[in-house]
Amino acid sequence: MKMTLAEIARVVDAELLAPNKDAVVTSVAFDTRQIKAGGLFVPLVGERDGHEFIDAAEKNGAVATFVASDHQVDTGMAQLVVDSPLAAMQALAKFYLLMKVNPKVVAITGSNGKTTTKDMTAAVLAQQYHVVKTPANFNNEIGVPMTILTMDPNTEVLVVEMGMDRPGQLHDLSTLAQPDVAVITMIGEAHIEFFKTRDKIADAKMEIVDGLKEDGLFVYNGDEPLLRERAQTVEQETKTFGLSPDNQLFAKNIVAKADHTEFDLSKWPDLHFQIPVMGEYNVSNALAAITVGRRFHVKPEMIQRALANFEITANRTQWVKGTQGESILSDVYNANPTAMKAVVHDFATFATAGKRIAVLGDMLELGDASRELHQSIAPELDPATIADVYLYGPEMAALRDVLVDKYPAAQLHYYTADQQAQLIADLKADLTADDIVMLKASHGLHLENVLTALTEA
């Protein structure tokens, strides 16, 4: 970006305290470690008050800082005094998006699959356009405007992931980004602790169309009745994808392998698709990306090539090698019942010369339904296919309680939250080079520590 302090002050309605109002800002950051020369610092208030780091931002090259009107700071930098630094950053992002760059915007949300769908969609569109996508999981009220503000001026398409954990959040993000295409991958039980029912989760997810342009497109998973019902109220064009033939785009001849999945489309019978990730649920994500690609007139052969080679964000169903030679399926970033059942189901089918071992940690934010939803994983676990099960965390005690009649005691292992070191030790002692292991839990369980212990000597 390239904007003068005076211009930024007008956009965000700030009082500008600066000797040189024509000084140019070339980047924005809320983390002083990301500040560059010419940067604008955004002091956010979280566990620490970002105003405490204004001196550090100046030392790292910042030329200006937002300052909340209820704070007083002593700095040699230019100050843009605003009611809320976060709101000012969001207003600046909206201006930069619409008035400076003006790319097409694809917004993606869903209880599962939004990050993978974002990666797939960006890869498809990059076949013909200059694309910027949400980095990592920058998908909230801070991450979305930061993604916008880091766009190159020549960006043609912005693929932005949008998460939510409360009503109204997607409304705000959608009206900020004003997407040309809005995508919902699926409705699961994520955050059901706060929303209480899947119906209310669906209502909150539908907020992604609140900012959809009048000539925009709403793309959604037609296998979900909750979305089909709500899509009837959307005035813009809609398209469905899914595994059922009654969708406008559906897959057939799905073949799931440990390291990739193959499928065909009735729409293009001469093309055979392959994606470098496992599971039918990822086929649905690919169908969403294909639908968006066709909206932007990407040729089928180019879509096929992009999906075969897209790069997935770290810690989402990745195969890695352990120090003992074992193969590890790492999915330690997030978990909810729908996703966990799908991954365990697929894992049970993968070929191995040794044992299949599942390491499952708590799924968080399930509220009063937590015990029942943890126990709902039990039908996917069978000692005939998954030899050993390691359960970790207080919520997984519920799953242990229903597996004790199904698994021999020597093959069912349970650990409390303070026993991760013991879990690691026992797992290492149990593993052989021929085994395959899956790790899945909500990020708050930090199974990435178990992954590190298994992969680093």
pLDDT in tens, the chain (457 residues): 999 999 999 999 999 999 899 999 999 999 999 999 999 999 999 889 999 999 999 999 999 999 999 999 999 999 999 999 999 999 999 999 999 999 999 999 998 889 999 999 999 999 999 999 999 889 999 999 999 999 999 999 999 999 998 999 999 999 999 999 999 999 877 666 677 788 999 999 999 999 999 999 999 999 999 999 999 999 999 999 999 999 999 999 999 888 899 999 988 999 999 999 888 889 999 999 999 999 999 999 999 999 999 988 765 678 899 999 999 999 888 888 988 998 999 999 999 999 999 999 999 988 888 999 999 999 999 999 999 999 999 999 999 999 999 999 999 999 999 999 999 999 999 999 999 999 999 989 999 999 999 998 6
Q: Enumerate the known binding-site residues for ATP.
A: 110-116
Listed residue (41, 36, 4) closest to 21, CA to CA: 4
The pTM (predicted TM-score) of the whole model is 0.88
Question: Cα(first)–Cα(last) distance of the chain, in Å?
Answer: 44
Write the CATH number of the domain with boundaries 3-83: 3.40.1390.10
Strand blocks (E) in 5-146? 15-17, 24-25, 27-29, 39-41, 64-68, 78-82, 104-109, 131-133
- Residues 6+ positions from 440 with CB-CB distance below 8 Å: 331, 332, 335, 339, 340, 343, 344, 358, 359, 360, 361, 447
Q: Enumerate the known binding-site residues.
A: 110-116
Domain-wise residue ranges, the chain = 3-83, 103-309, 318-455
- Residues 6+ positions from 205 with CB-CB distance below 8 Å: 109, 110, 111, 164, 170, 184, 187, 227
Write the CATH number of the domain with boundaries 318-455: 3.90.190.20
Write the CATH number of the domain with boundaries 103-309: 3.40.1190.10
Which tokens is 216 given? 């925009």
β-bridge partners, 361 = 392
Angle between helix 300-309 and 280-295 (nearest 10):
140
